[in-house]
Amino acid sequence: MKSTSLLAAALLAAQLGGCAHAPASQEVAMPASLDPSNPFASAWDTPFGVPPFERIREEHYLPAFEAGMALQRQELRAIADDPAPPTFENTLAAFDRSGALLQRVSLVFSSLNGAHTSDRLDQIAQQVAPQLSAHEDAILQDEKLFARIRALHLQRDTLPLDPEQRTLLGEVYLDFMQGGAELDGPKKAELRRLNEQLATLMVQFGQNLRKDSNAFELWLGSEAELAGLPDSVRAAAAKAAAERGRPGQWLFGLQKPSLLPFLQFSSVRPLREKLFRAYTERGAHPGELDNRPLTKAITALRILKARLLGRPTFAALQLERRMAKTPEAVRELLGRLWQATLPVAKREAAALQALVDVEGGGFKLQPWDWWYYAEKLRKAKYDLDENELRPYFQLENVLQGAFLVAGRLYGLKFLPRTDLPLYHPEVRAFEVQEADGRHLGVLFVDYFPRESKRAGAWCGNLRDQTYRGGQRIAPLVTNVGNFTRPTAEQPSLLSFDEVSTLFHEFGHALQGLLNDTAYTASSQNIKVDFVELPSQIMEKWASEPEVLKLYARHHQTGEPIPDALVAKIHASRFFNQGFETLEYLAASVLDLDWQTLETTEGLEPTAFEAGSLGRLGLIPEIVSRYQSPNFQHIFSSDFYAAGYYSYIWSAVLDADAFEAFRERGLFDPATARAFRELLARGGSEDPDVLYQRFRGAPPRLEPLLERRGLRPE
């Protein structure tokens, strides 16, 4: 169901005619019960209906949540009590329109709770999660409402429905079925209890992880401890220390812009190990922030929920509404890729061990050594140094490069706006227009780490695209990241991995901006193993030589990246792909193993994880991308639970889809129009149908294997 499930997904991140904007009064009915001084109680007279962040205070959220739930109950009661026979318009379309106020406050709250939270917002999240769960359960278990929806579902083959309406009917019907609509009274009560507990524990898991991650600090006070670190890395660490009131020292933490350069360049092996272990042990420290008990508790509740709904496992329940359909299909794909990847990763490990031996290291390669020796080997093998690349990837230029690609493909324009409300001074806003100047939406970007922001990068919405009264409601989309900060000496210079991440999240943003569906749920119900297609395909343009020459310019001279350096990037494109793919696949299998459990009796989380990865045959030099106590994707929300495999499922699609552009031209207008249509349809049709309409055939695995160099030698 769109309103409350949306919040649960957003708390993880989250997560996805030419009028200037629709007035807020046309989007949301305002309840009389809400205090008029509450900003959620009135129309927003800001440009494009952007939330007036400067007026919204923490104390406004709970009353707005409560009013939103009360209003939706009234709206749905009117549908259920309608004496007229159910029709698509008086039942399904009305159901889709309901809960607009609740969605409005949910999107604003979840955006801030992920990107700029506080102790009070965390408390509100804990308080409201079980309330929203109970609200959703009450709706999905409403017998009168379900009777009308079931009546339409039984007539689905004779009703005059277009593809989007047919899809919406099927999705809403499945929502009710998975929500326990056909259970008897005691079982409905039990499902409500399970969902309420899950909602609380999943929010707690994410909050614990953020706090535990922020608690670790590696303070250095001597030149010897900084051995091997480039000047830019030292400067960033010195700035971080000075901001904490300790000038003359250096501070490193567990955010990727601090963590990865240290692992890549520090020649002080014990410090690499200390930082690496701190990262992999997040959420696994005894005390109030220990997530290990939560992994078991969440899994136990999910098992009971699946059993109550007649499914053998939680994975079986989750995969009913994904492209893969079954756990067996997921395992089959992961198994094929594991067999292709493991030999490559073993060869990479052997090459790094050989480098250790040549240097007289006298030790066996460990996971905290991988980044350091991989960087050395890349330099030796391809004459390519990460620090040689960074000067060409100034954040502003990379962002403009992403805009340029969207302009060349879809004719979009991104205009800076300094008159829009922002939730933090570091956020920037861009109005997005079509080539002819028609308003399409607004993009907010928020790229630097801070303690009030969770780790990682994500795309979210402050408002989804939909239609009201025949008028398009334009989306308000956010891109949030944790990239390298600027220093006094230089602007923000990105690693190539950060460049790829920026393009990745921008791909999600494009789908949100280009979405053009009639119903709100159609923009939200994109299957998780399809949702990464638009993001991952955008990464392909970032590394194309033709595109690199357009945006990669030296931050001091303005000179475009030299052909020789582009050639080195291209020559090294397969480098370390065994490692990157294997650590991801290990996490995907670990996720599936958790979600296919049928009991947690006698289970000890750490031992369970070790057994899962041991059966895989994961080599000791590589660890899973996430460990269970910090696997936020699968334990902070149901969205990616039994679905972390989706990145590689989508990778099969995006590698095959990008071949269409390579065959016809990177910016071929006809291909771009066809792909834009795929993006615009959101969740309005079966993704297999959408993909084959674009490509003319099912996706092939071979392009993915080719792009990652996973062919046998």
Query: Could you tell me if 128 and 243 lie in one domain?
Result: no
Is 86 inside a domain boundary? Answer: yes
The alpha carbon of residue 73 and the mean position of all alpha carbons in its chain are separated, in whole angstroms, by 30
Query: Could you tell me if 149 and 276 lie in one domain?
Result: no
What pLDDT does residue 713 have?
58
Q: What is the pLDDT of residues 623-659, one digit of tens each?
A: 999 999 999 999 999 999 999 999 999 999 999 999 9
CA atoms within 13 A of residue 418's CA, in its CB half-sphere: 0
Among 250, 265, 280, residue at a domain's last position: 280
What pLDDT does residue 33 have?
75
What pLDDT does residue 19 have?
32
What pLDDT does residue 524 have?
85
By the 8 A CB rule, do 288 and 614 touch?
no
What pLDDT does residue 2 have?
39
Tell me which DSSP letter residue 553 carries.
B
The three-state secondary structure class of 413 is strand
DSSP string spanning 428-471? EEEEEE-TTS-EEEEEEEE-S--TTS-SS-EEEEEE--EEETTE
What pLDDT does residue 30 have?
62
What pLDDT does residue 32 have?
59
Can you give the three-state secondary structure of 167-208, one letter per residue? HHHHHHHHHHHHCCCCCCHHHHHHHHHHHHHHHHHHHHHHHH
What pLDDT does residue 15 have?
35
Query: Could you tell me if 166 and 224 lie in one domain?
Result: no
Is 367 inside a domain boundary? Answer: no
Check which CATH number belongs to the domain holding 61 and give it: 1.10.1370.40
Element (H, E) at 107: helix 100-115
Query: Could you tell me if 28 and 169 lie in one domain?
Result: yes
By the 8 A CB rule, do 440 and 412 touch?
yes
Q: How many CB atoms lie within 10 A of CB 425?
A: 6
Is 614 inside a domain boundary? Answer: no
Q: What is the pLDDT of residues 318-339, one digit of tens each?
A: 999 999 999 999 999 999 999 9
Among 262, 280, 298, residue at a domain's last position: 280
Residue tagged 């318009």 (tokens): 89
Is 201 inside a domain boundary? Answer: no
Among 226, 256, 280, residue at a domain's last position: 280
Catalytic residue among 196, 431, 505, 539: 505
Nearest to 389 by CA among 615, 568, 222: 568
Query: Could you tell me if 117 and 15 lie in one domain?
Result: yes
Query: Could you tell me if 510 and 562 lie in one domain?
Result: yes
What pLDDT does residue 712 have?
63
Query: Could you tell me if 542 and 675 lie in one domain?
Result: yes
Query: Could you tell me if 404 and 515 lie in one domain?
Result: yes
Tell me which DSSP letter residue 475 carries.
P
Give the chain's domain count. Answer: 2
Q: What is the pLDDT of residues 469-502, one digit of tens each?
A: 889 999 999 999 999 999 888 999 999 999 999 9
Is 625 inside a domain boundary? Answer: no
Query: Could you tell me if 164 and 273 lie in one domain?
Result: no
Is 235 inside a domain boundary? Answer: yes
Residues in the chain: 713
Query: Could you tell me if 274 and 410 lie in one domain?
Result: no
Is 78 inside a domain boundary? Answer: yes
Q: How far apart are CA 457 and CA 110, in angstroms?
A: 15
Query: Could you tell me if 161 and 225 lie in one domain?
Result: no
Q: How far apart are CA 63 and CA 284, in angstroms?
A: 36
Q: How far apart are CA 384 and CA 387, in angstroms?
A: 9
Among left, alpha and beta (phi > 0; psi -120 to 50; other), residue 283 is left
Is 505 an active-site residue? Answer: yes
Host domain of residue 250 = 216-280
**Within the chain, what is the greatest distance between any pair of CA atoms?**
84
Structure tokens at 562: 């030299």
Residue tagged 């990107």 (tokens): 115
Is 708 inside a domain boundary? Answer: no
Query: Could you tell me if 162 and 249 lie in one domain?
Result: no
Low-confidence residues of the chain: pLDDT under 70: 1-32, 712-713
